[in-house]
Structure 1
Amino acid sequence: MMAGAFAIVAVLWILLQTIGILGHPQAIHDERISLYFQPHGFGDSKINRPFLDSEEIEFSNLPAVSEHALNNSINYGITQSKRIARLEKNLVNAGIGLTDDTPTHSHYLYASPSEDALDLQLEADVVAKASMYLLQHFCQRFGRSNEACASFVSTFKLQGTSIGESCAAKQIVPCRANARYRSIDGSCNNLENPRWGSALTAYSRILFPSYADGIESPRRASQKPNSLPGARVISTSLTRSADQFDVSRTLAVMQWGQFIANDMAHTVVRKMVTTKEPISCCTSDGNFLAPRHIHPHCAYIPVPEKDPVYGQQQQRCMNYVRSLPVVKTDCTFGPIQQMNQVTHFLDGSTIYGADDARAEELRTFQGGKLHVDDHEGLSYLPKADHNTSVDVCDDPDNCYKAGDDRVNFEPSLAVMHTIWVREHNRIAEKLSKMNPTWSDEKLYQESRQIVIAEIQHITYEEWLSTILGKTYARVLGFVSNAENGRINYNQYEDPAVSNEAATAVLRFLYSLKRGELSITDDQRRNNGSLKLSEHFYKPRVIENEGTFDGLLRGLTSQTCGKMDMNFVADVTQSLFRTNKNGLGLDVISLDIQRGRDHGLPGYNHYRKYCGLPSATTFDDFLDQIPREIVKKLQGLYNHPHDVDLIVGGMVERPADDSILGPTFRCLLAEQFARTRWTDRYFYDSMAQPHPFTNEQLTQIRRTTLARVICDNGNHISRMQPNAFLRIQGGNEMASCTDFEAIPSVDLFAFAEKDKAYR
């Protein structure tokens, strides 16, 4: 019966697309998404990761590569890495480094790698140099393209080399098949491939990467001249600081999106391997370094002399350090892959951490609770300390310790973290009263399991419906209910977050930000505001009287920005600003540069992947992009293939009732489909070793963000049922004690009914 239900949903999806109810008939690649509705046979129908070239890549007439040659390539890689080590010592001796209390240093803190992450960088660098050696000696000189050669090199295993032995050892993880709870670091979710989805592993790819040299050099233009327009030039040409609002959605859409994006992805930057010092690519006053002082891992962003903002301050260089790579879990040569420092699952790592050491730091080991600090009788996150694995702030007393150090980025994100730590402790306390014999460990794990389920349910039931559109989300099966039953688990697909989602698609959230964060009272009257650019890394302002609740009410009543290329100046010229009168960084420039650094192919290739026609001229973009924007793109880029994914995706017209255009909607939908169906511990998965009972699942499905805010604000008494939508007809304000309007999870369903271990 369930197989039939899934088949009906898949057929309905294709039918609705065909008749145009969901917008463009091919606004999303039907086959790729509908595969997730198949209850069996995933092994034969995995989502493809196609190459950019349409022609079949043939390797038969290329020379054989022996194990001896593979080892020679590794030795070459080691030699090249030693040269970088010598250069790094020279840079340190020359005093080239980051200056504290600067936007560049704050950005480094935001993307700083952990010690464990940094230890994996050297291996990945050696493999990259070795792959380049193989590409040049066994493929490129036979007239093949860089991309074809990169594909050829990717077929070789590291097995038999020194790094191959190390890589293979990392994949061996002891797992218990019937473990009741998910691990902290994401390992053992997939029993056949226990490292899949775990922290410190590579992002996946939707399309084969497009590096200039096939292996690691940032993407370049598809035709001569090979240079792409500067990232800052694109930013100033396309973005406007005008605040345009979404009339129906609240700022909570942005804040929740940032919260779960941080849960699923954390791209970190390289550091010097020898000294472990941060890398500086520009002078402290924003000018170019001497060529001998530029680290090979720099990809700084040139700023035009006549830049409307930075030009007035004579700043010509914006710091950009390339992202930290990691060897792939399949232990192969090939193009570099960037590391995700957190787990790839939607599993509350922002609250609990992504490694055992951090998880233990956050626990009280009493009653299953997490550490909090009391301030005037209210619980807040504990202060950061010098024992924290990453120095999140120059002065730890000004910052919080959480599962994710990015909590300190801005006050409203700290508020979101705080209500979930409170939610965990609230649940733990109630479970303790209902189950007095439970140990601290059981209370912690049961509370964590419920909290993760609540986060997953809010994301799919409320947030994705708001982002993708209700009909679209419902047809994809993201809206879960009793009629849908429980989902099937796909053990054959790698759960890793796609590089495209982490590096481009989820960055649309910055377009939704507002420069002023409203502080409102219980009647939703504005009682003041916080200027975003003045509170980067100053999160403890939320402890001021009235600010915590005021920000929560503001998030659920203030409208978010529209998803377009209009960004508030707080993120296009003041990002990570450290003093009131100074400048900060530009998030758009950084995001464009990061996409090139990661070798993301151009927007046009993703159009094709998502079912839209590939553009051969710029006018072909007019089907999804306004004419005035197309003219600007034509003035910036030499060819439609060159348009960056993040740029093309951001300027598309919204599809139907979605926030996003068809390409970003397609890529985001695919990401969250994989996130759900490849997670053995997803809250409504049939594959959980100890799944929720039907009674418990019914209660989890009553979760709303509105209820979590009601239960965990300081003194919030009223809220609209759907916190992501503005207060209007059908979503009027209700009392937090009105459990019909704002349902509550009855934790009695989790009480132990007998002495048996549930």
Structure 2
Amino acid sequence: MKCIFLVFYLISIINTRSVHCGLFDILTKDNGEDVTSNEKVIFTEPELLQAIDLAQFSYNQLKTMEESISNSRIQLSNTSSSYAQYLENLPNNYTKEYDKIAQIVLKASKYLLNNNCKKAGLDDKKCVEAISTYKLPKCDLLEQCEQLNKTTMSIKSYRRLLPAHYADGLSKMFDLPSPKNISNSFFDLTRPDVDLINEEAATYEGVVDEERNVALVQWSQFIEHDLVKTVFQIMSNGNPIECCQDDATNAPPRYRHPACSPLMVDVSGEDYNRLPSCLNYVRSALNVNEDCSFGPAQQINQASNYLDLSQLYGNAEDITDTLRTFYNGELKISNDPLSPTLPEIDDIEDNHLCMHNTTIDTVCYKSGDSRVNVNPYVTTLYTLFLRSHNRIAKQLQKEHPTWNDTELFAYARRINVGIYQKIVYSEWLNIVLGISEAATINNRNPTTCINDGKVSNEFATAGIRFYYSMMPGDLKTTKDVSYFVRQNNIIIRPMTEENILKLKEEYYKPRDLAEDEELENIIDAILKQKAMAMDTGYVADVAKHYYRFQNNQQKDVGTDVLALDILRGRDHGLSTYTKYLERCTKTTIQSWTDLKSYINNEDLERLKLIYTDYDKVDLIMGAIAEQPKPGATIGETFSCIIGEQLTNTRCSDKNFYSNLNDPIFKQFVDNYTGAKLICDTTRLTRVPRNIFHVPSEKNPMIYCKDI
């Protein structure tokens, strides 16, 4: 029946020549002659309109399928790792509208490619290049696209450092080695003593960084939350998409949404009933081009594109208003004024921003970003900047008693953002890129910048994700015991090591940070504990237990952050690692041998076993395998991508802290450091001078009263 309906639908289109489309012709030039593969690709307006109508019809058919899926047993459980991914990539109402129109435009582009170009024997690449030069013709879809781009809440796409890299030029991913198998290969290599099924007894976590602490990981994730928010596609009825059944196997074809591209895991024998074979992945939501043109998939960035603490304040006024007290310029806090934390989600508000956990007492915090509850490392930093805002607002109110709430809030926000930007560019950047590279960025002439106010897809999808390699599974603290002992005729008080948290048990299951100086204990441990080395060795908590939960079969199911990052890079059409290395180093890579200068032999040999060609290595896989540059945390390619982005972010922000000469602003921001932020917002009495290095003789602990 559906096929018969489609035939009659197409006949009606041709006969009526509706306002949306015209007569379907073969690909023609203006004079009506056939186009050969060697001639310029030209589409007539009727062909463009025809493609749009076919795409709209396909989208409507998808809505019927989605209703069937919504009524099936393939549902997203709010205790699953899939739900945690959904929270990580939660779309707002604005992005849903952009994605809907962008999906129709992409479908129309595919019709032009498959029905026009392929039938005419034209090259895919040339055809896509031609398609991308065409703007939507006058029709309802064009009006909707233009209206969205005029809204005050204009959502931006990621920009690209290299052209979109898809098998069909539009959105089809290349057939490459399984992301999960790639991740497993490196995990098995770095953890030879681990039983993949039962890891509880395993103690090996990998190589640690002897200088950098967990605060570097914490701040890197916080910066990501500010600049990057990739969101999932959802169904037209607003329901989230689940690609796997509740027993962690692939959904049946009739219930498998076209946006699904799950991580499939090879399991056999005795492992079959203990390991998941399907891990959820939903393709990212899309944005329309700013000129409303056809062309390849362009992913949405729901973040604000600037270092403006949008993760704390929200990136739209209506979100910010829900977080304000509208009294003395302050933000809402929890009910404990002595140890203020983020406001908690109550029963009336959306209480779905966390996962249920019966093992520990949990709360669920509210902030400007749905990722606030992802793990204690980053939740604590959200809390510090909340406290910082209210501290500044109180001081401003004392110094300027005639200012109203709006003035106090705006000034406190601007100062808080300035403090944050200063720490990022004066301290964090020095550790990540090295002092020399950071100085180059900070001294860059703004007139030489790209200055387009967008985040690159490469930064968002690969570059800033380096910190997951450095994330520890356990956070520990050392404390003095209550007794003294004699050691070599010297009386000492021994230290005891206590485990504060296990990361795999904490994803979207936040604890009460106001209780028993919980926040101070976590911050103190973050400052003193060494981070893992930035390399191909990920700890089990992110390589095996990312977003861990227990399914209906009482099996522990977790996903894999590296595998997800590899897959997301392909979903977003990132080019291969060597193409970015060539762009960054201005060299030519022609063989595996050319990579020896950047990647150690062990990792290079492993990459050779996985990939058939040196020029097919995924960007994130090649870049995390690179040896760090001297004085830096990361290697050549990530340094290039992150440096380019931080340069553009600084240059495109007219309110960047170094551009503001207001004396009130400078009074707060000048000479401010990360150490002072922690002293001003916690009850700690001593902190490391450099908050991104572990305490040492070169980086001593200093008293807050002396800062």
Whole-Å separation in 1 of the counterparts to 2:262 and 2:565 = 12
Give the secondary-structure state (helix, strand or coil) at the position aligned to 1:719: strand
Q: Which residue of 1 aligns with 2:687?
A: 719
Change (3 A) 1:159 1:737: farther
Show CA shifts across 1:491-512 (max 9, x none): 9742111111111111111011
Cα deviation 1:52-85 (Å, max 9, x = unaligned): xxxxxx9992242233322222112101111211
Within-5 A mapping of 1:106-117: 106-117=84-95
Q: Does residue 1:209 correspond to 2:174, yes or no?
A: no
Note if 1:333 corresponds to 2:294: yes
Stretch deviating more after TM superposition (421-430 or 396-405): 396-405
Which residue in the other structure is 2:342 paired with?
381
Equivalent of residue 705 in structure 1, options 674, 682, 686: 674
Structure-2 residue corresponding to 1:234: 182
Q: Distance in 2 between matches of 1:488 and 1:671?
A: 13
Could you tell me whether the CA contact under 8 Å between 1:131 and 1:153 is conserved in 2? yes
1:277 has 2:239 as partner:
yes
Residues 1:662 and 1:388: Cα distance change in structure 2 (over 3 Å): farther
Counterpart of 1:45 in structure 2 is: none
Structure label with greater radius of gyration:
2
Gaps of 5+ in 2: 1-35, 192-204, 481-492
Match of 2:107 among 108, 111, 129: 129
Question: Per-residue deviation at 1:606?
Answer: 0.6
Alignment CA distance shift 1:216-1:529 (3 Å)? same
- Aligned partner of 1:81 in structure 2 is 59
Q: State the distance in 2 between where 1:420 and 1:664 align.
A: 27
Q: How far did residue 110 of structure 1 move?
A: 2.0
User: Quick one: distance in 1 between partners of 2:46 and 2:347?
Assistant: 47
1:280/1:671 CA distance change after superposition, 3 Å: same
Tell me if structure 2 keeps the 8 A contact 1:368–1:443: yes
Q: Which residue matches 2:8?
A: none
Q: Which amino acid aligns with 1:303?
A: V
Verify the 8 A CA contact 2:98 2:148 in the aligned structure 1: no
Q: Is the 8 A contact 1:268 1:341 kept in 2?
A: yes
Aligned residue runs from structure 1 range 439-454, under 5 A: 439-454=404-419
CA contact (8 A) 2:42 2:130 kept: no
1:497 has 2:458 as partner: no
Q: Following superposition of structure 1 onto structure 2, how do residues 676-691 of structure 1 map, counting pairs within 5 Å?
A: 676-685=650-659, 691=660
Deviations 1:449-473 (A, max 9, x none): 0011111111111001100001111
Rounded to whole Å, the distance in 2 between the matches of 1:696 and 1:112 is 34
Comparing 597-606 with 153-162, which one deviates more in the overlay? 153-162
Where does 1:632-651 land on structure 2 (aligned, <5 Å)? 632-651=606-625
- Cα contact 1:110–1:392 (8 A) shared by 2: no
Q: Which amino acid aligns with 2:658?
A: D
Asked if 1 retains the 8 angstrom alpha-carbon contact of 2:419 and 2:669, the reply is yes
Q: How many pairs are equivalent? A: 637
Aligned equivalent of 1:190: none
CA distance in 1, matches of 2:558, 2:641: 30
2 CA distance for matches of 1:333 and 1:525?
Answer: 62
Corresponding residue for residue 539 of structure 1: 510
Determine the C-alpha separation between the residues in 2 that align with 1:416 and 1:499. 25
The structural deviation recorded for 1:701 is 3.4
Contact 2:576 2:615 in 1 (8 A): yes
Distance 1:571 1:614 in 2: 34
- Cα shift at 1:415: 0.8
1:142-161 matched pairs, under 5 angstroms: 143-158=121-136, 160-161=138-139
User: Among residues 318, 323, 326, which one is paired with 1:362 in the alignment?
Assistant: 323
In structure 2, relative to structure 1, the CA distance for the partners of 1:613 and 1:518 (3 Å cut) is same
Query: Match of 2:299, SS?
Result: strand
> 2:623 aligned with 1:665, yes or no?
no
The aligned residue for residue 732 of structure 1 is 700
Give the Å deviation of 1:474. 1.1
| Alpha-carbon distance in structure 2 between the residues aligned to 1:91 and 1:167 | 28
Verify the 8 A CA contact 2:527 2:693 in the aligned structure 1.
Answer: yes
5+ residue gaps in structure 1? 1-57, 175-184, 186-194, 221-226, 479-483, 686-690, 740-758
Residues 490 and 388 of structure 1: is their aligned pair in 2 closer, same or farther, counting only changes over 3 Å?
farther
- The answer on whether the counterparts of 1:521 and 1:550 sit within 8 Å (CA) in structure 2 is no
Aligned residues with identical type, % of pairs: 33
Measure, in 1, the Cα distance between the counterparts of 2:349 and 2:571. Answer: 29
Shift, 1:612, TM fit: 5.0
Deviations 1:120-175 (A, max 9, x none): 2210110001111222345445555433322221111125232222222233357x
Post-superposition Cα deviations, 1:225-268, rounded to whole Å, max 9, x if no partner, equal xx311011000112335321111111100100100110111111
CA distance in 1, matches of 2:447, 2:307: 15
TM-score scaled by length of structure 1: 0.80
Matched position secondary structure for 1:584: strand
Aligned to 1:224: none
Contact 2:41 2:130 survives alignment (8 Å): no
Equivalence for 1:164: 142
Counterpart CA distance in 2 for 1:623 and 1:232 is 27
Correspondence list, 1:257-656, <5 A: 257-273=220-236, 275-305=237-267, 311=272, 313-375=274-336, 377-385=338-346, 388=349, 391-393=352-354, 398-477=363-442, 488=446, 493-519=451-477, 526-579=497-550, 582-656=556-630
Which string of whole-angstrom CA distances, capped at 9 and with x for unpartnered residues, describes residues 435-455 of structure 1?
000010000000000011111
Amino acid in structure 2 at the alignment position of 1:209: A
* Deviation sequence 1:516-573 (CA, Å, 0-9, x none): 1124569997444211111112222423313211111111111111110111100111
- Give the alignment's TM-score, normalised by structure 2: 0.85
Whether the aligned pair in 1 keeps the contact of 2:415 and 2:665 (CA below 8 Å) is no
Maintained 8 Å contact 2:134/2:293 = yes
Summarize the Cα distance change of 1:512–1:86 in structure 2 as closer, same or farther, 3 Å threshold: same
Judge conservation of contact 1:390–1:405 (CA < 8 Å) in 2: no
Q: Is the 8 A contact 2:452 2:652 kept in 1?
A: yes
3-state SS, counterpart of residue 734 of structure 1: strand
* Contact kept? 2:165, 2:573, Cα under 8 Å: yes
* Secondary structure in structure 2 of the residue aligned to 1:166: helix
Q: Which residue in 1 is equivalent to 2:11?
A: none
The RMSD of aligned alpha carbons is: 2.5
Shift of 1:696: 4.1
CA contact (8 A) 2:354 2:509 kept: no
Determine helix, strand or coil for the equivalent of 2:211.
strand
Q: Separation in 1 of the partners of 2:619 and 2:684?
A: 41
The 10-residue stretch of structure 1 (586-595 or 145-154) with the greater mean CA deviation from structure 2: 145-154
> What is the alpha-carbon distance in structure 2 between the residues aligned to residue 228 and residue 394 of structure 1?
33
Give, in whole Å, the separation in 2 of the partners of 1:547 and 1:581.
Answer: 31
